[in-house]
């Protein structure tokens, strides 16, 4: 099964080669010329020169120069064609590799978030970087061999046959060609092991990369809990496992050439003995020996080529298994479109679970009329963030229906749906760049005036103006130069810039102090105007001015009403409020 997958996988990337037709054609032509010049041209020219030059006692100077010039011409043509063949195939190879890298990146954009919860970032990086690099390094060596060596082998065999048939009883020398066929045995035997061991090595380096990635992302926790030694031991263990697996693959790979050279030594030794008994002339035997050597040399290189192909196939197999992962469910070929969105949201009999053994939502229904603000509250794990994630189609529901303005969101193009929503998560992710570039994520076609207005509305202008370069200050990887509250205000500025009809705030002010939240409250009220707003928050100060509070517990609605009504009614909401007031949580 693996063999079928690895060979058929190559075909997926050949469609990009239609842009390299001429490079492939000239690579083929120059490869044929180089191979023919090596396998047939060199031994035949050697026989011709020895027969002409050393058989004459006196030879004209101009004729000697002519004979000396012929090898130069042959080698020059062979070298130029070899260079062009290798370079043109490198161009073709890069076209394939570029296609692979792009397919991997595009696949990452289409995978559901659930995939990244079960797969480490290090494993994804390993496939996108290490596996592609393996294919690239193998292709560099393969490019030089793919056309030249087979042609050299074929033309060398033709030269051997040509020379043998010109000698009395020389046809018996052709039996030596059987040894060339037997050379395929070690190539196939060790090549299979290269495939198996290299696949294991690729998986081991994936684990190694995962450990490094996790260590970098948890640098603060590692130091806080004094886990440096433990992390080093784990990394050392993974590093050793990878080294052992890699050396096993190397051992199988490096056994190919010595095995072929053993056959070559046997063949040349038998040729010397048999040639002596046949009384083959010296010039003919030298040319024949050269031809035999030139036959075994490409066989040896084809052995290396086969080993490199197995390395490439093992890496390609891992890439293919990644590209075959299930993507986010795509909409129909003609997705529905919605214009002038009002923002009515309806969860209709929705069932969803992260874990097949435990449902987060079970036959859940909720209708949110357009143009109003809603707060989702409840204990941790009640399903609040899950509802927001399902509305954004970060995950796919198992059954039921979610609609916006009466249109099933599964019938919408995902990008159209998300353009209608401004989302502020609890822990916003910022990219390495400037403040301006990060806020511009809200709307890429916004002007600087629009960005500055969004900053003022988010009450982020004070701290941004105090930065060394203001709006154009670099903020470091994931905004590490900013505080948690500053990152949240940048995310809120994105939401103002987005100006979308649906707004989701998931603990969007959790990192703000009371004064900053108070300053922001009036701006948020203006942002709520004319929009459907969903607030997920444990900060009850934000809930006093929403139109309706919806209390969730264990994936079900247990209370609905305004902040004041729910406090009067008691129940879970009042318990949460009292717990928050006294500084602890349920």
At residue 398 the predicted structure's pLDDT band, cuts being 50, 70 and 90, is confident
Q: What is the DSSP letter of 378?
A: -
Tens digits of residue pLDDT in 67-95: 777 778 888 888 888 888 778 877 777 77
Concatenate the DSSP letters of all residues of 204-226 into one string. HHHHHHHHHHHHHHTHHHHHHTT
Distance CA 97, CA 208 (A): 24
If one counts every other C-beta atom within 10 angstroms of the C-beta of residue 285, the result is: 20
Question: Which of the four CATH numbers 1.20.1560.10, 3.40.50.720, 3.20.20.70, 1.10.10.10 does domain 12-323 have?
Answer: 1.20.1560.10
Range list of β-strands (E), 283-417: 345-352, 361-368, 373-377, 399-404, 407-408
Tell me the CA distances in angstroms from 459 to 228, 441, 490, 514, 515, one per residue in order.
Answer: 40, 18, 9, 14, 11
Q: Give the H/E segment covering residue 550.
A: strand 548-553
Question: Is a pLDDT exceeding 60 seen at residue 584?
Answer: no
**Least confident stretch, 125-139, 161-175, 493-507:** 161-175
Chain position carrying tokens 């039921």: 400
Map out the domains of the chain as residue ranges: 12-323, 336-420+503-512+533-586
Q: Which of 288, 251, 291, 257 is nearest to 272 (CA)?
A: 288
Q: The pTM is what?
A: 0.69
Q: Kindly state the tokens that stand for 364.
A: 């859940």
What tokens appear for 172 in the block? 């018996």
Where residue 145 falls among pLDDT bands split at 50, 70, 90?
low
Tell me the pairing of strands 361-368 and 345-352.
antiparallel
pLDDT of residue 346: 94
In angstroms, what CA-CA distances link 24 with 21, 63, 95, 562? 5, 40, 11, 71
Query: Which residues, 6+ apart, have CB-to-CB distance to 442 below 8 Å?
Result: 422, 454, 493, 494, 495, 496, 497, 498
Q: pLDDT confidence of 366, banded at 50, 70, 90?
A: very high
- Tracing tokens 């707060």 back to the chain, one arrives at 375
Q: Is the pLDDT of residue 379 over 90?
A: no
**Segment 180-185 long-range contacts (CB within 8 Å, at least 24 positions apart):** 180/263, 180/267, 180/295, 180/296, 180/299, 182/263, 183/259, 183/260, 183/263, 183/264, 183/296, 183/299, 183/303
Task: Write down the pLDDT at residue 1.
Answer: 40
Yes or no: say if 56 and 99 are a contact pair by the CB < 8 Å rule. Answer: no
Q: Which of 141, 160, 369 is nearest to 275 (CA)?
A: 160
Cβ contacts of 151 within 8 Å, gap of 6 or more: 31, 32, 34, 35, 36, 39
Tokens encoding 32:
């044929």
Average pLDDT estimate for 28-36: 80
**DSSP string covering 449-516:** HHHHHHHHHTT-HHHHHTSTTGGG-B--GGGTTS-HHHHHHHHHHHHHHH--SEEEEESTTTTS-HHH
Q: What is the mean pLDDT of residues 189-203?
A: 80
Q: What is the mean pLDDT of residues 57-66?
A: 71
pLDDT (mean) for 348-355:
89
Name the token pair of 45.
């020219």
What percentage of the chain exceeds 90 in pLDDT?
Answer: 7
- Give the pLDDT of residue 365: 93
- Asked if 12-323 and 336-420+503-512+533-586 have one fold, the answer is no
Among 170-179, 185-194, 306-315, 430-439, the range scoring the smallest mean pLDDT is 170-179
Residue 336, CA distances (Å) to 93, 332, 333, 419, 532 in order = 41, 8, 10, 14, 21
Tokens 């969803």 sit at which residue? 352
Fold of domain 336-420+503-512+533-586? Rossmann fold (3.40.50)
Which range, of 39-53, 190-204, 418-432, averages the lowest pLDDT? 39-53
CA 142 vs CA 86, 195, 319: distances in Å: 9, 16, 19
Tokens representing 485 are: 């509250």
Average pLDDT over every residue of 505-518: 74
Cβ pair 252, 197 in contact under 8 A: yes
* pLDDT value of position 542: 74
Chain segment 243-285, per-residue pLDDT in tens: 888 888 888 877 877 777 776 667 667 766 766 666 666 666 6
Q: What pLDDT does 302 receive?
A: 67
Tell which residue, 65, 267, 96, has the closest CA to residue 179. 267
DSSP letters, 402-436, are EEETTEEGGGB-HHHHHHTEEEE-SS----SSBHH
3-state secondary structure 162-188: HHHCCCCCHHHHHHHHHHHHHCHHHHH
Q: What is the mean pLDDT of residues 501-521?
A: 76
> Residue 557's beta-bridge partner residues?
552
Distance, CA of 312 to CA of 249 (rounded, Å): 13
Q: What is the arithmetic mean of pLDDT over 149-154? A: 72
Measured CA to CA in angstroms, residue 502 lies from 44, 466, 531, 552 at distances of: 80, 32, 6, 21
Query: How far is Cα 445 from Cα 437, in angstroms, rounded to an integer?
Result: 12
* CA 258 to mean position of chain CA atoms: 36
Q: What average pLDDT does this structure show over 34-39?
A: 75
Percent share of the chain, pLDDT over 70: 76
Q: How confident is the model at residue 511 (pLDDT cuts 50, 70, 90)?
A: low
Instruction: Tell me what the mean pLDDT of segment 527-546 comes to.
Output: 81
What is the side-by-side strand order in the sheet with 345-352?
361-368, 345-352, 399-404, 407-408
Q: What are 362's two structure tokens? A: 């079970």
Structure tokens of 100? 């692979």
Alpha-helical regions (H) of 218-281:
219-224, 228-254, 256-277
Residue 61 CB-density burial (10 A; 0-12 exposed, 13-18 middle, 19+ buried): exposed
pLDDT at 450: 92
**pLDDT beyond 60 at 549:** yes
Q: Average pLDDT over the chain, rounded to whole?
A: 78
Residue 523 has pLDDT above 80, yes or no: no
Q: What is the pLDDT of residue 585?
A: 47
């Amino acid at each position: 099964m693996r063999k079928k997958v690895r060979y058929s996988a190559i075909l997926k990337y050949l469609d990009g080669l239609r842009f390299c037709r001429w490079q492939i054609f000239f690579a083929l032509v120059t490869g044929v010329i180089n191979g023919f010049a090596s396998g047939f041209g060199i031994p035949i020219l050697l026989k011709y020169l020895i027969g002409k030059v050393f058989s004459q006692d006196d030879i004209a100077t101009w004729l000697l120069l002519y004979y000396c010039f012929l090898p130069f011409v042959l080698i020059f043509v062979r070298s130029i064609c070899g260079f062009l063949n290798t370079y043109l195939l490198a161009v073709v190879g890069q076209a394939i590799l570029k296609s692979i890298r792009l397919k991997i990146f595009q696949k990452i954009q289409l995978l559901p978030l659930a995939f990244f919860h079960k797969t480490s970032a290090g494993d994804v990086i390993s496939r996108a970087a290490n596996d592609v690099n393996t294919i690239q390094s193998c292709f560099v060596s393969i490019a030089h061999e793919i056309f030249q060596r087979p042609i050299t082998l074929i033309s060398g065999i033709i030269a051997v046959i040509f020379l043998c048939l010109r000698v009395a009883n020389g046809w018996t020398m052709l039996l030596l060609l059987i040894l060339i066929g037997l050379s395929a045995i070690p190539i196939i035997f060790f090549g299979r092991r290269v495939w198996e061991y290299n696949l294991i090595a690729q998986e081991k380096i994936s684990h190694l990369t995962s450990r490094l990635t996790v260590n970098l992302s948890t640098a603060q926790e590692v130091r806080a809990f004094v886990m440096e030694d433990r992390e080093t031991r784990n990394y050392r263990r993974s590093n050793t496992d990878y080294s052992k697996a890699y050396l096993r693959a190397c051992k199988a790979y490096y056994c190919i050439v010595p095995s072929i050279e053993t056959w070559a030594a046997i063949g040349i030794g038998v040729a010397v003995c048999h040639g002596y008994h046949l009384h083959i002339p010296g010039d003919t035997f030298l040319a024949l020996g050269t031809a035999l050597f030139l036959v075994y040399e490409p066989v040896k290189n084809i052995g290396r080529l086969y080993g490199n192909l197995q390395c490439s196939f093992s890496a390609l197999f891992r890439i293919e298994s990644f590209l075959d992962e299930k993507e986010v469910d795509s909409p129909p070929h003609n997705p529905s479109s919605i214009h002038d969105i009002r923002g009515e949201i309806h969860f209709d009999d929705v069932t969803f679970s992260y874990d097949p053994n435990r449902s987060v939502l079970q036959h859940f229904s909720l209708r949110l009329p357009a143009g109003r603000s809603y707060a989702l509250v409840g204990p941790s794990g009640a399903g609040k963030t899950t509802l927001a994630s399902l509305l954004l189609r970060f995950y796919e529901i198992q059954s039921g229906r979610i609609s916006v303005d009466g249109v099933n969101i599964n019938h919408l193009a995902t990008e159209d749906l998300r353009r209608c929503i401004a989302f502020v998560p609890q822990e916003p992710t910022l990219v390495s760049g400037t403040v301006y570039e990060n806020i511009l994520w809200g709307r890429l076609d916004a002007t600087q005036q629009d960005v500055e207005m969004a900053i003022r509305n988010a009450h982020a202008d004070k701290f941004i103006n105090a930065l060394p370069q203001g709006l154009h200050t670099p903020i470091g990887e994931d905004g590490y130069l900013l505080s948690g509250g500053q990152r949240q205000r940048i995310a809120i500025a994105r939401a103002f810039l987005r100006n979308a009809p649906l707004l989701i705030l998931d603990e969007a002010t959790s990192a703000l102090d009371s004064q900053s939240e108070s300053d922001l409250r009036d701006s948020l009220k203006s942002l709520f105007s004319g929009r459907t707003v969903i607030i997920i928050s444990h900060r009850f100060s934000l809930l006093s001015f929403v139109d309706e509070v919806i209390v969730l517990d264990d994936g079900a609605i247990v209370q609905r009403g305004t902040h004041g009504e729910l406090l009067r009614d008691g129940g879970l909401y009042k318990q949460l409020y009292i717990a928050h007031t006294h500084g602890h949580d349920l």
